[in-house]
Amino acid sequence: MNEILENTVIAESVNRYVIVAPKIAQRRKAGQFVIVRIDEHGERIPLTIADADPARGTITLVVQAVGKTTAQMATLKPGDCLRDVVGPLGAPTHIARWGTAVVIGGGIGIAPAHPIAQALKAAGNTVITILGARTQSLLIMEEEMRRASDEVIVCTDDGSCGMKGFVTHALADLIAKRGKPDFVFAVGPVPMMKYVSLLTKEHGIPTMVSLNPIMVDGTGMCGGCRVTVGSEMKFACVDGPDFDGHQVDFDELMKRQAFYKEQERLAYQRMQERCQAETLAQTNPS
Ligand SMILES: Cc1cc2nc3c(=O)[nH]c(=O)nc-3n(C[C@H](O)[C@H](O)[C@H](O)COP(=O)(O)OP(=O)(O)OC[C@H]3O[C@@H](n4cnc5c(N)ncnc54)[C@H](O)[C@@H]3O)c2cc1C
Ligand code: FES
């Protein structure tokens, strides 16, 4: 059991959880994740360790409520416990001294991008971070990213904050005005990572992406997280989640992510109906 110390809403449908997990807090490295189960009947969901405090024995998760489990997690309060938190899982991000490194985080991908920006900066790189969100109310962790970077460029699809446009526009602009960076790391929605990788391939910039396929066990046993990288089959939970963006088959990843859409929709609908019935029973106890 892992106690939740803090659960704070930081943007529309996005919560930051501080969770007691002393061993994970000590061992985790940038790029690693945990698999969480809320209760003994719950499904196992992978979540990136967005930050950790080894002295306090805590890890920080930043989670967007997109379906049944993440919405249920958002209702938990400080003092409540998660049934289990397993990790750190996955291979840590390869951190080198590249020179100028551009870290790109799109949407909830800003949370996994945070420890990577921190580690690249600690390794002596000049870190330029590009943050992308659909609109200002969905932009997360700007302050933390400013602390982890030498420079931050914000862009929103609707222009409500920073420059108007996608992260790929900001990256193309940066390359045109200031030349090629030495390295790019991108994490966010699959189409975003695909188009960032196409752009950097054109310019010959080494690029890593952090993939988010459906994961079940997180230990290389079930095959759920299978991805194709450079025509080889890889398991993102043990071989990744980071891979060379120029080699990833993003179209296959998008198809595999959508495999269980109908089951996911039904599970969420059933949970909402159960919640409504419980609320009704509480307001009309007779
Ligand atoms: C390595 C990794 C790190 C991640 N880190 C974060 C994070 O830091 N913050 C965050 O908000 N989200 C993160 N995710 C995504 C998160 O795991 C899913 O949003 C979550 O599992 C959705 O579950 P649900 O029941 O709420 O929604 P559902 O309705 O079940 O699913 C909604 C969508 O989430 C994805 N998904 C569902 N189940 C899984 C699963 N078991 N594994 C992976 N994806 C799934 C699918 O694309 C699905 O269509 C990460 C995913 C991976 C693989
Ligand atoms: S999640 Fe089962 S093999 Fe990766």
List the CATH number of the domain containing 233.
3.40.50.80
Ligand 1 binding pocket, CB closer than 6 Å: 33, 45-48, 62-64, 66-70, 108, 111-112, 212-215, 241, 257, 261, 264, 268
What six digits make up the tokens of 201?
């391939």
Same domain, 252 and 183: yes
Same domain, 36 and 106: no
Same domain, 177 and 197: yes
Judge whether 58 and 137 are in contact, CB under 8 Å.
no
Does residue 78 sit in helix, strand or coil? coil
Nearest-angstrom CA–CA distance, 129 and 122: 14
Determine the atom of ligand 1 nearest the C-alpha atom of 63: 11
Choice from 47, 216, 259 to test ligand 2 binding pocket (greatest atom count within 8 A of CB): 216
Q: What is the mean pLDDT of each run of 10 residues along the chain (286 residues)?
A: 94 94 95 94 91 96 91 94 94 95 95 95 97 93 95 94 94 95 96 96 97 90 92 93 96 79 72 74 70
Distance of CA 270 to the CA centre of its chain: 26
Ligand nearest the Cα atom of residue 218: 2
Domain boundary (40, 59, 89) is at: 89
Q: How far is CA 135 from CA 49, 50, 75, 166, 191, in A?
A: 24, 22, 24, 11, 18
- pLDDT recorded at residue 274: 75
- pLDDT recorded at residue 260: 67
Give the number of other CB atoms < 10 A from CB of residue 184: 27
How many structural domains compose the chain? 2
| Ligand 1 centre distance from Cα of residue 234 (Å) | 19
Choice from 7, 63, 70 to test ligand 1 binding pocket (greatest atom count within 8 A of CB): 70
CB under 8 Å to 39, separation ≥6 — which residues?
A: 83
Nearest-angstrom CA–CA distance, 71 and 175: 39
Pairing of strands 14-20, 33-37: unpaired
Q: Per DSSP, what are the bridge partners of residue 59? A: 19, 52
| Domain membership of residue 71 as a residue range | 2-89
Same domain, 104 and 214: yes
| Ligand 2 centre distance from Cα of residue 224 (Å) | 5
- Ligand 2 binding pocket includes 222 (Cβ within 6 Å): yes
Q: How far is CA 224 from CA 10, 74, 125, 204, 227, in A?
A: 31, 25, 35, 32, 9
Same domain, 73 and 116: no
Pairing of strands 151-156, 163-164: parallel
Same domain, 111 and 41: no
Helix locations, the chain, DSSP H: 22-27, 68-74, 110-122, 142-148, 167-178, 190-203, 236-239, 250-257, 261-283
Determine the atom of ligand 1 nearest the C-alpha atom of 215: 42
What six digits make up the tokens of 218?
């997180």
Same domain, 72 and 130: no
Q: Whose CA is nearest to atom 9 of ligand 1?
A: 63
DSSP-assigned letter for residue 231? T
Distance of CA 191 to the CA centre of its chain: 14
Pairing of strands 14-20, 2-11: antiparallel
Same domain, 171 and 106: yes
Domain boundary (89, 122, 146) is at: 89
DSSP-assigned letter for residue 28? -
| Ligand 2 centre distance from Cα of residue 189 (Å) | 20
| Ligand 2 centre distance from Cα of residue 110 (Å) | 23
- pLDDT recorded at residue 263: 74
Choice from 36, 214, 235 to test ligand 2 binding pocket (greatest atom count within 8 A of CB): 235
- Ligand 2 binding pocket includes 224 (Cβ within 6 Å): yes
Judge whether 167 and 188 are in contact, CB under 8 Å.
yes
Same domain, 47 and 158: no
